Structure 1
Amino acid sequence: MTTLDDLPLRSELKGRSPYGAPQLDVEVRLNTNENPYSLPEPVAEAVEQALAAVLRDLNRYPDREAEALRADLAAYLGAATGHDGLTGANLWAANGSNEVQQQLLQVFGGPGHLAMGFSPSYSMHEILAAGTGTQWHDAQRGADFALRPESASSLVRVYQPDIVFLCSPNNPTGTALDLEVIESVAREAPGVVVVDEAYGEFAREGTPSAVTLLPKYPRLIVTRTMSKAFAFAGVRLGYLAADPAVVQAVQLVRLPYHLSALTQAAARAALANSPLLLAQVEAIKTERDRIVAGLRALDLTVADSDANFVLFATPTRDQQATWQALLDRSVLVRDVGLPGWLRVTAGTHDETTWFLEAMAEVVADQRNAAPKETVTVGQEKSSDES
């Protein structure tokens, strides 16, 4: 039987494993940063009507450039971030923000080019770089998981990457970047700077988006997704905002008719009902803050979060034992590969209650079983996140 070792894989793909998180049948699934709420009924009905309207034209190719969808995205994002100058020419959409980022690597990366990120961060960026033959440099965040303007820009100055990836809010740590950090990198970078704002809608009050910096930096690119805030993970719709020249560059590598008519119709219907969906975001933020407060009440170290998830230190250095103890209580959280840390997604009120009660039991059991250990943060590299 043929195995991967028998195939002529590219060298940068040898020894790798497919990206993914465990999909287990549990009562409380809080490991993949999904929106815990179904679409509100009025939104579901609007999506159904939009899909019905295009069903009889599925023998024809969709709008290749998704112009109507891009205009709708520009209107939504401009209103959400306070950037009233966005138009469809500034927006590009694809099947999830991962495909958008892959297209950016196809355009600005590839063999002989360097991409850089600051770990612990979203591991898919490195995987996408490998898939496009782009060299990857893994810079490290500080011991407190922070990224500061001087250190970030100095590393860019040294390595001269063609693409810099920044996450804000960062995955898996959850905290948004100060705009000063993004500007310091944008000023120094010889190529493009990609700010991944997949969780931007969940940021705490007063947190500005990097979208506001686009007029000042023509090589700055902000990627977003409808998977999280819009409860659209099953639709797969991501997008970027950038200078129109960047959008034109991405069109050089996009596959023909890459966004189906069904995807475009569903996304436009959801955008037309964004206030209903964003009301759910406020409920999720309430549960996130409840998780932060609840875990700190258990005397655990918790990272500040601007996302729909929380990174927390486990009672002992063995985070796998805590992960298993929670699973034994039918709660699935994410082991992101940081010794002594786990990540939990904010769920519904009942799911949050279940998690916090289970966590209180686990903490009591583990502290009774062994002396408390001190966790040293931020030195190890993260594994897969989503």
Structure 2
Amino acid sequence: MTSLSDLPIRDDLRGQEPYGAPQLDVPYALNTNENPYPPSERLVKALGEAVADVAGTLNRYPDRDAVALRDDLAAFLDADTPGLGLTGRRVWAANGSNEIIQQVLQAFGGPGRAALGFEPSYSMHPVITRVSGTRWVNAFRDEDFGLEPERAVAAVEEHRPDVVFLTSPNNPTGTALPLEAIEAVLKAAPGMVVVDEAYAEFRRAGTPSALTLLGGHPRLIVTRTMSKAFAMAGTRLGYLAADPAVIDALLLVRLPYHLSAVTQAVARTALAHGAELLGGVEALRRERDAAVAWLRAEGFAVADSDANFVLFGTFPDRRRVWEAMLGEGVLIREVGPPEWLRVSVGTPEEMAAFRTALKNAMKESL
């Protein structure tokens, strides 16, 4: 049998592990930050009708530039953050925010170029960076998982990266960045600045979006996704807002017809039913805040969260706790700093199961 080591793969890929959270059949899957509320029967019917409408045209290529979808996404962002004045010309869409990140690195990174991030952060940023042939530089976050503007600027000035990744709210910590930190990086960065806002809809009241900085910052890219708040993880639809020139750059590297007609139809239908899909966001915020309060009352260290997950610790042997909880049917995530664990916020029933399993796991570890 031929093994991977026998193949002439790129040297920089040798010894690498593929990305992937455990996919296990358990009663309570709280490890991938999914929205636990599925589409209603009414929306399922609408989605089916949308797919049926395009089914008869699947012998033809889809709209190559997803013009109607981008217009709808621009309208959604304008409603979410009033006053932006966005049009589809300033929005781009792809198969999940990961493809968005890949296209950005293909256009602005590559051999001889570098991308900088502040870990712990989204683990796919360095993975996609390296796969694109770009050098990854980790500048690290503060001890409380925040990012002081002065430290961020110092890292940018030292390394002079072609792309800077700022994640807000940050995954896996849930930490949101103040606009002052983002503005400081924008002023210092010689290249593109990508603010990953995959969890933006879950942010607490008063937490601003980097979308408000788009005016006057042509090198700013703000990425979003429909996988989280929209409960459309299976659709695989990510998007960004930026200056029109950025969209022109991405057109140079995107694959032809990269978004299927079915994906575009499903995403547009979801946006049309946005009020329903986003209706569960407030409930998840309440569950998140309740989880943070409970964990702190139980004596755990907990990172402030503006997302739909909570990072908590610390554990001398987090694997032992993770396995004990898995034994009770609750799957959470080993991610981030070595002594911490992350739980995705679920339904009240799921969170009750999480609390019970964690208490039992802690008893076992004594």
TM-score (norm 2): 0.98
- Look up the match of 2:190: 190
Q: Does residue 270 of structure 2 align to residue 270 of structure 1?
A: yes
- Look up the match of 1:19: 19
For 1:92-131, what aligned pairs fall within 5 Å after superposition?
92-131=92-131
Residue-by-residue CA offset, 1:214-270 (whole Å, 9 max, x unaligned): 002110000000001111111100001000000111011111100000000000000
Q: Does residue 366 of structure 2 align to residue 364 of structure 1?
A: no
The separation in 2 between residues aligned to 1:83 and 1:294, in whole angstroms, is: 38
Maintained 8 Å contact 1:83/1:211:
no
Where does structure 1 lack aligned partners over 5 or more consecutive residues? 370-386
The separation in 2 between residues aligned to 1:82 and 1:195, in whole angstroms, is: 19
Deviation at 1:362, TM superposition (A): 2.1
The separation in 2 between residues aligned to 1:317 and 1:337, in whole angstroms, is: 14
Q: Which deviates further from its counterpart, 2-11 or 236-245?
A: 2-11
The separation in 2 between residues aligned to 1:83 and 1:321, in whole angstroms, is: 49
- Look up the match of 2:221: 221
- Look up the match of 1:317: 316
For 1:57-72, what aligned pairs fall within 5 Å after superposition?
57-72=57-72
Maintained 8 Å contact 2:121/2:167:
yes
- Look up the match of 1:233: 233
Q: Which runs of 4+ in 1 moved over 3 A?
A: none
Letter in 2 for 1:41: E
The separation in 1 between residues aligned to 2:233 and 2:181, in whole angstroms, is: 29
Partner SS for 1:119: coil
Q: Which deviates further from its counterpart, 182-191 or 281-290?
A: 281-290
Residue-by-residue CA offset, 1:291-319 (whole Å, 9 max, x unaligned): 111111211111110000000004x3111
Maintained 8 Å contact 1:54/1:265:
yes
The separation in 2 between residues aligned to 1:83 and 1:153, in whole angstroms, is: 29
The separation in 2 between residues aligned to 1:101 and 1:155, in whole angstroms, is: 21
Partner SS for 2:89: helix
- Look up the match of 2:301: 301
The separation in 2 between residues aligned to 1:144 and 1:84, in whole angstroms, is: 32
- Look up the match of 1:134: 134
Deviation at 1:26, TM superposition (A): 1.1
- Look up the match of 1:285: 285
Q: Does residue 334 of structure 2 align to residue 326 of structure 1?
A: no
Deviation at 1:329, TM superposition (A): 1.1
Q: Which deviates further from its counterpart, 57-66 or 7-16?
A: 7-16
Deviation at 1:337, TM superposition (A): 4.6
Residue-by-residue CA offset, 1:65-109 (whole Å, 9 max, x unaligned): 000000000000111022431000000000000000100000000
Letter in 1 for 2:326: L
**How many residues end up aligned between the 2 structures?**
366
Residue-by-residue CA offset, 1:103-161 (whole Å, 9 max, x unaligned): 00000000011001000000101110111100111111111111110000111011000
- Look up the match of 1:168: 168
Residue-by-residue CA offset, 1:22-52 (whole Å, 9 max, x unaligned): 0111111000111111112222222111111
- Look up the match of 1:47: 47
Maintained 8 Å contact 2:84/2:212:
no
- Look up the match of 1:207: 207
Deviation at 1:290, TM superposition (A): 1.6
User: Structure 1 pair 56/310, CA: closer, same or farther in 2 (3 Å)?
Assistant: same
The separation in 2 between residues aligned to 1:193 and 1:360, in whole angstroms, is: 42
Maintained 8 Å contact 1:114/1:135:
yes
For 1:29-48, what aligned pairs fall within 5 Å after superposition?
29-48=29-48
Letter in 1 for 2:274: S
- Look up the match of 1:3: 3
Letter in 2 for 1:7: L
Where does structure 2 lack aligned partners over 5 or more consecutive residues? none
Deviation at 1:325, TM superposition (A): 1.1
The separation in 1 between residues aligned to 2:253 and 2:343, in whole angstroms, is: 36
- Look up the match of 1:151: 151
For 1:338-349, what aligned pairs fall within 5 Å after superposition?
338-349=337-348
Q: Percent identity?
A: 61
Maintained 8 Å contact 2:84/2:211:
no
Letter in 2 for 1:123: S
The separation in 1 between residues aligned to 2:173 and 2:130, in whole angstroms, is: 23
Q: Which deviates further from its counterpart, 354-363 or 118-127?
A: 354-363
